[in-house]
Amino acid sequence: MIPFLDLKAINEQYQEVISDELNKVLKSGWYILGESVEKFEGKFASYCGSRYCVGVANGLDALSLIIKAFDIGEGDEVIVPSNTYIASMLSISLNGATPVLIEPDINTYNIDPLKIENKITDKTKAIMVVHLYGQACDMSAIQLIADKYKLKVIEDCAQSHGALFEGQKVGSFGDAGAFSFYPGKNLGALGDAGAITTNDEELYLKLKAYRNYGSHKKYENIYKGNNSRLDEIQAAVLSVKLDYLDKENEHRKEIAKYYLGNIKNEKIILPLLIQEEHHVWHLFVVRTKDRDKLQRYLLDHKIQSLIHYPIPPHKQEAYREWNHLSYEISERIHREVLSLPISPVLSMEEVKQIVEVINSYE
Ligand SMILES: *Cc1c(COP(=O)(O)O)cnc(C)c1O
């Protein structure tokens, strides 16, 4: 069986260095907000080309703390793509604000900038872009709209660590960028972890307090904060793995290039790549009319695939109030998509085998 994602094999590549770093944390006797977190924050900010980075507990907290720090809440609206992973919307709802859904471009799966302006009201406070599946959104178009209406731009970079738009890393465009280091992401920890990047010093200081009970100094609390700290162990692992992120993303790109050049089957729609540097291929998502049939066929040929995602957020029970609405492009995407294996440890032999199987699909 070719697995969709072999996390064990990915992490075993670095077993020795990771063990050494974990031992150092163990022996330091200091496990929360110490040297490892500070070191990772510095490394990750510089990797992203941002002035600041704040480590937090997970990607959802990264998003929701940004919204909280911007004082976006009850009565406010935030623009978000209709086909994103539900965490993007939850971060808005959890703050009491209203997510306003915008349909994506069917070819890139990213928010369609042309559809944003007529959904802007006097309650709109921010645009949350999601660089979905690893491909950067058109940040020039987004920034123009945000500037015109004086809106914050929040980047959900949970799937796009290292992607570039016009030579600049995602996470460094907006007012703040949110990252997840969930184990399966391009940069993954050995548990939950997340981070926020920003160039705004005031926001940075606020977020450092917000992740730690609203405290900027021990036992002095200036905000009603959360407990959402990145721990020393995850930070140590992430510092090691960050050194290999570009190399791993290169391998993903090589696989994607092979898929794009060699999958030839009229039943299958390949993802549209705008520019090579824009995409770090967190997922390689194809579309086909009878998606479940393709998935079964692949499984019969010992190839595991997954669906990202089977149910659009507006049809989830959690958002009952949206269930009657229809977002046709999003619904079509959720009906037709299938993600093929792509990972830093998938061999080109396996990739060739997958292509052969897909090309004989009828
Ligand atoms: C994974 C993911 C998140 C949430 O990250 P967690 O660390 O699981 O909380 C948010 N947005 C998108 C697009 C994601 O893929």
Cα–Cα nearest to 237, from 190, 193, 178: 190
Average pLDDT over residues 330-345: 98
187-238 tens-digit pLDDT: 999 999 999 999 999 999 999 999 999 998 899 999 999 999 999 999 999 9
Task: Name the residue with tokens 């069986």.
Answer: 1
Say whether the peptide bond before residue 309 is cis (omega within 30 degrees of 0): yes
Output the DSSP codes for 29-82. T--BSSHHHHHHHHHHHHHHT-SEEEEES-HHHHHHHHHHHTT--TT-EEEEET
84 lines ligand 1 (CB under 6 A): yes
pLDDT band at 109 (very low <50, low <70, confident <90, very high): very high
The pLDDT value recorded for residue 327 is 98
Token pair belonging to 317: 């029970």
Q: Quick one: pLDDT at residue 2?
A: 98
**How many A from CA of 86 to the centre of ligand 1?**
8
Using the mean position of ligand 1's atoms as its centre, give its distance from the Cα of residue 84 in Å: 10
Confidence at residue 124, expressed as pLDDT on a 0 to 100 scale: 98
Is-contact 133 109, C-beta < 8 A? yes
What is the 184 CA–ligand 1 centroid distance (Å)?
10
The Cα 41–Cα 47 span in angstroms is 10
Q: How does pLDDT run across 133-142, given as a tens digit for each residue? A: 999 999 999 9
- Tell me the per-residue pLDDT of 51-103, one tens digit each, with 9 for 90 and over: 999 999 999 999 999 999 999 999 999 999 999 999 999 999 999 999 999 99
What is the arithmetic mean of pLDDT over 273-302?
Answer: 97
SS3 state at 240: helix
Mean pLDDT computed over every residue of the chain: 98
Residue 59 has what pLDDT?
98
Q: Tell me, what's the pLDDT at 113?
A: 97
Separation of first and last alpha carbons in the chain: 21
Using H for helix, E for strand and C for coil, what is the string for 19-44? HHHHHHHHHHCCCECCHHHHHHHHHH
* Residues 6 or more apart in contact with residue 6 via CB below 8 angstroms: 343, 345, 346
pLDDT in tens, 142-193: 999 999 999 999 999 999 999 999 999 999 999 999 999 999 999 999 999 9
- Give residue 117's pLDDT: 98
| Nearest CA among 202, 159, 200, 163 for reference residue 179 | 159
Ligand 1 within 6 A of CB of 180: yes
Nearest CA to ligand 1 atom 5: 59
Res 205: pLDDT: 97
